[in-house]
Amino acid sequence: MILHDFLPSGNGYKIRLLCAFLGLKVTLKEYDITKGETHTDAFLAMNPSGKIPVLELDNGQCLSESNAVLLYLAEAHQSPLLPTDLIQKAKVHQWLFWEQYSHEPNIASPRFWLTHNAMNDLKKQMLPDRIQQGNAALKQMNDALCSQNFLTGNTLTLADICLFPYTHEAEEGGAYDLSDYPHIQRWIRTIEALNGYISISQKKF
Amino acid sequence: MILHDFLPSGNGYKIRLLCAFLGLKVTLKEYDITKGETHTDAFLAMNPSGKIPVLELDNGQCLSESNAVLLYLAEAHQSPLLPTDLIQKAKVHQWLFWEQYSHEPNIASPRFWLTHNAMNDLKKQMLPDRIQQGNAALKQMNDALCSQNFLTGNTLTLADICLFPYTHEAEEGGAYDLSDYPHIQRWIRTIEALNGYISISQKKF
């Protein structure tokens, strides 16, 4: 499998982290998204959205949308990271959709604007509202983690792998302070200590 | 089952439409989201995000995030609307995540601002960029539909049920003109002609 990716991307890191936990080998092909490298005809043929990550399977088929790729890999490898019980599975799905709507735009986007020199006047005006919503999202995670080790209970699932990347980097750029969220801090340390864990910048796993 | 909902919501309508197609009976409990009715303690206990739709199962368990609810209902009823082939399933998942990140914020949110008197100076400034991204999303759907009847092929799936609500209402508020997207217009007419179809304002099904 080839993972078309941009190393600083949390969306890409989700898939790398899952592959590392599952012991799957993938070849990394890197693109600089800040230089339009995902808007070539060749890339758009893989993903019309022009976005990494894209997982190219051995048969040449391409899967996009990071959380769809997580679900595919977990099901294809019958991993307990995606529960088979339908209610438990729905709880994992909930966090995956919530991440794309309520967490990523408020936490990952401001981090990108602040760390990749991508701020402009409109984004500066949008920032306070994004930060308010981002803190509401972090509070919701912190509340969920106050009585259990992981987001859906006491075992690691795709929900944690999905939410880990942009949460553990939330402070980059200065918009967020995780010391306000002690249960999230403990959860981060728990995941970092798991067998197979890799950092966001680790290319070999 | 009880569906906690707000009738004009496209996210709620997704679930109502799926229930109608599957022949499932649900009791509708309505909330006016413009009056804070989803921010009571009782509602937050069902969904800490304070958002409709919430599906309350017969055993009292509550599921939120509209697309997670679609997946739950389709799997619980072993509906072919969610393919069992893992690649085909991943293609459905792709559209579901894409809808929450690339479609809903650009198409549903501006519609809400423009039709529910929710516009302010900042939103006015954000609008041109949202509309540009919304048109890119509609173009992507139109392209996908140019050679097939439905989003993932020639049979209806959850991808179509998920994308139908906010797409068929995209023109409300005046931000979008669907006559630019003839394949989407045909797809809308195809879905509206299906057995079991209900409109967004239909309470009985």
* B62 bridge partner residues: B56
Domains with residue ranges and CATH for chain B? 2-76 (3.40.30.10), 86-192 (1.20.1050.10)
A94 at interface of B, judged by CB pairs closer than 8 A? yes
Give the total residue count for chain B.
Answer: 205
Residues of chain B found within 8 Å of residue A68, distances taken between Cβ atoms: 90, 93-94, 96-97
Chain B residue with Cα closest to A75: B86
Nearest to A126 by CA among B174, B130, B107: B130
Inter-CA distances, A132 with A70, A163, A171, B152, Å = 28, 18, 14, 37
Output phi, psi for B7, to 5 deg.
-50, -40
From CA B143, how far away is CA A170, in angstroms rounded? 36
Angle value at C-alpha B91, between B90 and B96, nearest 5 degrees: 90
- Assigned token pair, B20: 């109608």
- A119 CB-contact burial (10 Å; exposed 0-12 / middle 13-18 / buried 19+): middle
Taking the C-alpha atoms of residue A85 and residue A67, their distance in angstroms, rounded to an integer, is 19
pLDDT tens per residue, range B9-60? 999 999 999 999 999 999 999 999 989 999 999 999 999 999 999 999 999 9
Give me the residue from A48, A61, A96 closest to B140, CB to CB: A48
Contact between A142 and A135 under an 8 Å Cβ cutoff? The reply is no
Which pLDDT does position A205 carry in this prediction? 82
E-strand spans in chain B?
2-5, 27-30, 54-56, 62-63
Q: What is the pLDDT of residues B102-134, one digit of tens each?
A: 999 999 999 999 998 889 999 999 999 999 999
What does B100-144 look like in DSSP terms, one character per residue? IIIIHHHHHHHHHHHHTT---HHHHHHHHHHHHHHHHHHHHHHHH
ipTM: 0.97
- Tens of pLDDT along A110-124? 999 999 888 999 999
Say if strands B27-30 and B2-5 run parallel, antiparallel, or are unpaired. Answer: parallel
Q: What is the pLDDT of residues A42-99, one digit of tens each?
A: 999 999 999 999 999 999 999 999 999 999 999 999 999 999 999 999 999 999 999 9
Q: A48, B144: Cβ pair inside 8 Å?
A: yes
C-beta separation of B116 from B153 below 8 A: no
Residue A125 φ/ψ region, left for φ over 0, alpha for ψ in the -120 to 50 degree band, beta for the rest: alpha
B137-163 pLDDT, tens per residue? 999 999 999 999 999 999 999 999 999
End-to-end CA gap in chain A: 14
Measured distance CA(B143)–CA(B130) in Å, rounded: 20
Residue of B nearest to A100 (CA): B101
Taking the Cβ of residue A79 and every Cβ of chain B, the question of whether any pair is shorter than 8 Å is answered with: no
